[in-house]
Amino acid sequence: MKKSIYVLLVAIFIAACSKSEDSTFLTDISEDVFSFKPIAGGAIMHYNLPADPEIMGICVRYKDAFGSDMLRSASSICDSIMLIGFNEAQSNIPAVVTLCRRDGVESNPINITFETKDSGPVAFMNNVQVKSGWNGFTVAYNNPENSKGMAHVFYLT
């Protein structure tokens, strides 16, 4: 009987000591503090976070070109984050932004939309031109800014 009372008291003390924190916190920022620059295969989101020492970072959740859930996060020290995962140019892509505190709690979600440009391989395939020349040919294409990738050109004689 004595042991069961001690076990009951320990259980009560453990339950009383647990923290009851909110799952989110309120923030007063709006979607106006975010600006986007479309780049090849994605976008760069620029932001200006409030000067709150408790805010440690920012998280952006969206779906890539294949429908997979993407999570991109950055520190509050940075002022931009690259949103990647797209091939063709798209517009009005929905995303959710949350701020993260030191204790791991995220803010209420802020809904945003952004646009992307064609990735390097898609831009290559859309813009490549093969021109005949003196006993040969020339491959000409416009490479978009900040695009990465490689194209192999094979020919048979």
Q: Which CATH number does the domain housing residue 109 bear?
A: 2.60.40.10
Which range is least confidently modeled, 37-46, 55-64, 132-141, 142-151?
142-151
Q: Say if residues 56 and 25 touch (Cβ distance below 8 Å).
A: no
Does pLDDT of 28 surpass 90? Answer: no
Q: What is the pLDDT of residues 36-59, one digit of tens each?
A: 999 999 999 999 888 888 889 999
Quick check: is 42 in a domain? yes
The better pLDDT of the pair 21, 26 is held by 26
Residue from 46, 128, 44 nearest 86 by CA: 44
Q: What 3-state class would DSSP assign to 4?
A: helix
- Count how many domains the chain has: 1
Residue length of the chain = 157
Q: What letter would DSSP give residue 146?
A: T
Residue 46's domain comprises: 22-114
- What is the reported pTM? 0.75
| Cα 80 to Cα 36: distance, rounded to the nearest angstrom | 9
Q: What letter would DSSP give residue 44?
A: E
Quick check: is 26 in a domain? yes
Average pLDDT, the chain: 85
